[in-house]
Chains A and B, each alone.
Chain A
Amino acid sequence: MATAPSRYICLICRNPIPAAGAECPHCKSRLTAVVGATPQLLALVFAVMIVLGVVTFSYNQRFNRERDMRAEQHYRQARTLADYGYYEQAVEHYTEALLVERNRFDYRLGLALALYYSQHYQEAQNQLIELRELDPTDATSNLLLARLARRDGRVAEAISSYRTAIYGRWPQNPEQNRLATRFELLDLLEQHGTPGQVVGELLTIMQEEPSNTALAKQVAGIYLEFDAAEEAARVYRDLEEKGVVDAEILAGLGKANFELGNYAQAHSYLERSLRLKDDEEVSRLHTLSDQILALDPTARGLSPSRRYGRSHELLERALGYVDYCLNPQGDDFVGPPAPLPQALSSTVSIAKQRLEEKKPKDYSDAAEANILVAENLWRLRDQACTNIIREDEPLSYVMRVLAQ
C-alpha cells in the first residue's frame, strides 16, 4: 500500500521530512515548511477576498446612501422645528441626525444653535468646542462661544472668540454679520473693556464702513459715551460736510463741542437741532451752554464794564457756593461750623471785601482781581465742602474754562 506523501518539507533542501520540526535526513536542518497551499488554493482565497470586498463595498455604499438620507431627513425636520422656535424638539432630531452622520459640520452647528436657544448652555458649549476643533475659522460657532463665555463672565475668552468670529468665515451675509458681531463686541467692551479698546474698535468699524451714514451716527454716539468727543466731532463734521444734516447730527455736534469746551459752537448747534427736533437732553444742554456763555467773564468782545459785571457775578456765586458749605441748611445741616483753615478764611474775607467794593476805577483790573479771587475760592472749596455737594453747573463749567 502506498503511503501518503508527507505534508512537511525541509525549508533548506526541500526534501520531505516526516513531521514538523523533525530533523531533515539530508541536510540535518530542523527548519520546516508545509506543503499544502497550492496556487489554486491561494488564488481561491484571494478570489474570495475580492468577492467579499465587492460585497462589502456595495453593501456599504447602499448603507451610506440610506444613512445619509435618514440623517438628512432628521436634519430637515430639526431645521423646520428650530425655525418655528421648537428648539427642544429640534435638538432631538439634530441628535438623531448626528448619530447617523457624526461628521457633518452643519448638523452639529444646528444642534449647537438649538441647544443654545433652548438654554442648554453647557451642552451647547461642548458641541461648539468640537465645531471649533473641526473648523477654527467658522464664525457662527465662534460667535456662540463668545456669547457663552460672556455669559459666564470669561471676558478675555469672549473678546478673543468675538474677534475670531469677526474675521472668520460667514456662510451668509458676511458684511452684516461681521458688523453685528463688532457691535456685540463693542457692547462687551463698553461694559468690561477700557475706553481705549472701545475707541479702537470704533475706529476699525469706521475704516471698514466709511460710507455708512447710519453706522457713522451710531459710532459717533458711542464715541461720545466714551468721552472721545474729538473723534465724535470729527465723525459728525464729516457727515455735515457730506451734506447729511439732521437733528441728531446737529445735537451730536453740539454735545461734542460742549464736551470740548466750545460752548459757543455747542450752543449754536444745539439751537439748530432744537429747531428741527425737540429733545429734553438737547434742550438741557442748550440752556446750560447759554448760562455758561452768560457767566463766562473771559468771552471775547465783552466791554470792560460787562466783563467786570460777569466777574462780580462769578465771585458772588463762588462765595455763595463756599458760604453754603460753611453754613449748611436743611438736610445738609450737621451742626455748628468747624473753624476755617487760614487760607480759606482769608480768601473768603477778601472775596467779601471785593464784593462790597463800590464802582471801581479800572474795570479791567477789578475784573481780573475778581476772577483771581473766585478761582482761589473755587480751588479751596474742598476745605469747606468736605461732605456737601452743591450743584452749580454753569459755575463749574466756567471755572473749568478758567482753569484751562
Chain B
Amino acid sequence: MTARSRFDGLKQRALRLLIVGQKGPMMGDTQRFLLLSIITGIFAGMIVVCFHISIEYLAWNTVDALGAHNWLAAVLWPALGGGVSFFLAYYFFPTARGSGVNYTKAALYVSDGYVPFSGVTGKFLCSTISIGTGNPMGPEDPALQMGAGVASLLGRIFHLTRDHMRLIAPIGAAAGIGAAFNTPITAVLFVMEEVVAAWNAGVLGSIVLAAVSAVVVSRWFLGDDPLYSVPEFTLTDYSELLIYALIGVVSGLLSAWFTSFAAKSRARAKKASKQWVHALPVLAGLVVGAVGVRLPEILGAGYGAIDSALHDRFPWHFLLLLGALKIITTALCFSAGTPGGMFAPALFIGAMIGGGLGGLAHEYLPVATSSAGAYVLVGIGTFFAGLFRAPMTSIFMVFEVSASYVIILPVMIANTISYLISRQLQHDSLFHIVGHQDGLDLPSVEEQREALPLSVEDAMRPGSDRVTPSTMRVDDALATIEGRSLERCLVSVYAKGWFWAEIDDLRQAIAAGKGEKNLLRALPLRNVVRLYPDLSLDSALRLLATYPVIPVVSRANSNQLLGSLTLEDVHEAYGLPVPARKKGAKKA
C-alpha cells in the first residue's frame, strides 16, 4: 500500500468520525452536537478576541489620543461614535439593535434556533464604534449575541435537528459571554439562569463545552487575567455584614428605579419622530462626552475605573459620584438606542455604590470595617443581580473573579437582598421589558423557575372511597359503587397489587349470574400502575389516557393508599368543567 493511499484511508476514517454520510454514520446527532459546541466555542472565542482588540484600538485612537489633549474632541467622540453606530445599526444592521439575550431567547422559543449572521457583523461593527468612542456601554451582551449568531450559522450548516437547533443559540451565547468575561462558570450560569430554564445533562454539557473552549481561546490570546486584578479580600468584622446588606438594599432600589426609568425612556424614544430617533444617540453621546471631559472614568466599559476602585484609588464620595453619573449616562445611551450591552455598566454601578457606601462606613468606623476596595468587590454583582434578575450568576461571578472563599457570605447577602428588593419594586426584568417593547413576548426564565406546576397531590381524591376489596361480592360492590356515584373502582388484591374495574363489568357479571361471587373470581380485573403524590400532573395525565383510575400511594410504603386520581379530578384541579357522565351510569 502506498503512502498516498494510506493517507487517503486515514483521511476517510477521520472524516467518517465527524460526519454522517450515506456510507455509514460513525457519530450520532448528540455527539455531533457536542463537537459542534466545541467548534462554536472556538469560533466565538476568536471573534470576541477580535472584538475586544478592536474596541481597544479604537479607544486608543479616539478618546485616549485626541480626547486626552483637546476637550472639544473629548466631548465630540462619544457623540460621533453614538451617531455613526446607531446609523449603521438602523440602516444596515437592524438585527444588531436590541438585546443579545433577547435574540438568543427568541432563537430558543420563537425561530427554531435562527439568529441572523448579519447580527454578528452588525454587533461587532456598531458596538466597536460605540464603546470604542467612549459611550458607557459594555461589550458582553454584543459578545453574547455574536456567539449565538455564530452557533446558529454552524447549526444551520450542519443541519442539526430542530431540538438541537433551538439549543445551539444559547450554547453560542455561553461561549460569547464566557470569552468576554473570561469566566466560564459565570457564562454557564448566566445562560442557564437567564436563557435556558432546563438543567438537563445534555444541554449543560454542551454549554459547558462551548464556554470552556471559548475561554481557552480567549485566554490563549489575551492572557489568563480576570477582568480585574482583585486585591485580597478579608472580612474585618462580622458587623460589616450589615454594611454589605445596606449595599444590597441601595443597589436593589437603584436597579429597580433604573429599570423603570430606562424602560420608560426607551419606550418614549421609540415613539419619537425619525429625526429625533437619529438625534438622540448623538445627544446622549454629547452628555457622555461632557461628563467624560472631567470624569473619564465613566467612559466605555469602565473596567479600568473598577480596577482602580478595587485598589482604593478613589475616595468614597468620588465613587458615589461616578456611580450616579454612570447610571444617568448609561440610561440615556440605552434609551437612545446606542449599540452596546448593559453588563459592564451594571458591574460598574454596583462597584461604585458598594465602594462609596463602604468607604463612607470606613471613614466613620475605621476599626470595624475594611477599606473601600473590599466593598467595591462585593458591590460589583449587586446592581447586576437586581437589574438582570440573575442572583446566582452575580454571586458566582464575584466568586470566580476574586477566587476568594471568604467573600461568598457578604456577596450572597448583598446580591440576594438587591435581587429581592428589585423584584419586589419592579415586576419585570429589563430584558423582559425590552423584549415587550420590541414586540417579543418571550417567557421569563425567572417565572418559569418559580412556577409551581400542579402535582398529583393537588388533584387526587384523598381516601379510599374508590376502593373495593377484592373479597366483596359483585352485587354488594355494585351497590356500593352506585351509592358513591362512581363509574369505576379500584380493587386491591392482597399480594398482587392494584386493579381496576368498570361499573359495566359488574353489571355484566351480575347479568351472567356471578352476582354472589366475589370480585376477584367474577371480574376480568385489569392491572393498574401506581402514582406518587409528588409527581407532576402532566406525567399523571399521560397515564390517565390508559388507566381511567389510578391509585396514589406513599413512596415509603407502596401498600399505603393515599388517594386516587381520575381525569375528572384533573379537570377539577385545573378549574375545567367536568365532562358529562355517561348516560345510564347509575342504572343497573
Residue B21 is within 8 A (CB to CB) of chain A in the complex: yes
* CB atoms of B56 and A63 under 8 A apart: yes
Q: How far is the CA of A53 from the CA of B307 in the complex (A)?
A: 30
Q: Is B22 an interface residue (CB 8 A)?
A: yes
CA–CA, A20 to B112, complex, Å?
A: 14
From A32, A60, A66, residue with most partner B Cβ within 10 Å: A60
A11: Cβ under 8 A from any B Cβ: yes
Instruction: Give the residues from 121 to 135 in chain A that come closer than 8 angstroms, CB to CB, to chain B.
Output: 122-123, 126-127, 129-130, 133
**A45, B39: Cβ atoms closer than 8 Å:** yes
Residues on B with C-beta less than 8 A from A99 are 304, 307
Binds B, one of A36-44, A165-173, A361-369: A36-44
Is A123 touching B307 in the complex (CB atoms < 8 A)? no
Fill in one digit per residue for A18-61: 1 if any B CB lies within 8 Å of its CB, else 0: 00110000000001111111110110010001001101110110
Q: B162 interface residue, CB < 8 Å from A?
A: yes
A9 at the interface (CB under 8 A from B): yes
**Residues in chain A near residue B565, CB distance under 8 A:** none
Residue B161 at the chain A interface, CB threshold 8 Å: yes
With A14-B24, A34-B29, A102-B229 as contacts: A42 and B18 at CB distance below 8 Å: yes
Q: Which of B549-581 contact A (CB under 8 A)?
A: none
A76 within 8 A of B: no
CB under 8 Å from chain B, chain A span 90-120: 95, 99, 102-103, 120
Is residue A70 contacting chain B, with contact meaning CB distance below 8 A?
Answer: yes
Q: Which of A45, A60, A70 contacts B157 (CB 8 A)?
A: A45
Give the CA-CA distance A56 to B124 in the complex, in Å: 14
When the two chains form their complex, are residues B312 and A123 in contact, meaning their CB atoms are under 8 A apart? yes
Q: How far is the CA of A46 from the CA of B197 in the complex (A)?
A: 32
The answer, yes or no, to whether A7 is at the interface (CB within 8 Å) is: yes
Whether B159 pairs with A36 at a CB distance below 8 angstroms is: yes
Instruction: Kindly state whether residue B60 has any CB partner on chain A within 8 Å.
Output: yes
A54 and chain B: residue at smallest CB distance: B46
- Please measure, in the bound complex, the distance between the C-alpha atom of A99 and the C-alpha atom of B225, giving whole angstroms: 12
Contact partners of B232 in chain A: CB under 8 A: 129-130, 133
> A127 vs B43: C-alpha distance in the bound complex, in angstroms?
36
Q: Are A33 and B312 in contact (CB under 8 A)?
A: no
B229 touches A130 (CB 8 A): yes
> B7-59: which have CB < 8 Å to A?
15, 18-22, 24-25, 27-29, 32, 39, 42-43, 46-47, 49-50, 53, 56-57
Q: Which residues, 258 to 303 on A, are CB-close (under 8 Å) to B?
A: none
Known: A63-B53, A102-B229, A123-B313. A9 touches B25 (CB 8 A): yes
Question: Which residues from chain B contact A56 at a C-beta distance below 8 Å?
Answer: 46, 49-50, 221
Q: Are B28 and A42 in contact (CB under 8 A)?
A: no
Closest-CB distance, A103 to chain B (whole angstroms): 7
- One of B25, B46, B56, B154 near A33 (C-beta < 8 A): B25
B307-334 interface bits toward A, Cβ cutoff 8 Å, 1 = contact, 0 = none: 1101111000000000000000000000
Report the minimal beta-carbon distance from A7 to chain B, rounded to whole angstroms: 6
**Contacting pair B221 A60 (CB below 8 A):** yes
Q: Does B223 contact A (CB under 8 A)?
A: yes
User: Are A63 and B43 in contact, with the CB atoms below 8 A?
Assistant: no
Known: A37-B157, A126-B312, A129-B232. A103 touches B53 (CB 8 A): no
In the bound complex, what is the Cα–Cα distance between A239 and B43 (angstroms)? 75
Contacts of A21 in B (CB 8 A): 161
Chain B residue with Cβ nearest A39: B15
A55 touches B25 (CB 8 A): no
A38 near B307: Cβ-Cβ < 8 Å: no
Contact status B157-A31, CB under 8 Å: no
Instruction: Using A37-B157, A56-B221 as known contacts, say yes or no to A126 and B25 having CB atoms under 8 A apart.
Output: no
Closest A residue to B16 by beta carbon equals A39
Q: Contact: A7 with B20, CB < 8 Å? A: no
Q: Distance (Å) between the CB of A75 and the closest chain B CB?
A: 16
The answer to whether B25 touches A14 (Cβ under 8 A) is yes
CB atoms of B22 and A9 under 8 A apart: yes
Q: Which of B21, B60, B158, B311 neighbours the largest number of chain A CB atoms within 10 Å of its CB?
A: B311
A11-B28, A45-B157 known; 5 new pairs, CB 8 Å cut-off, are A36-B20, A45-B39, A56-B221, A59-B49, A63-B57
**What are 5 contact pairs spanning A and B, CB under 8 A?**
A37-B159, A39-B19, A52-B43, A122-B312, A129-B232
Q: Which 10 A-B pairs have the closest CB atoms?
A: A36-B159, A33-B20, A56-B46, A99-B304, A63-B53, A20-B161, A126-B311, A34-B159, A33-B25, A123-B312
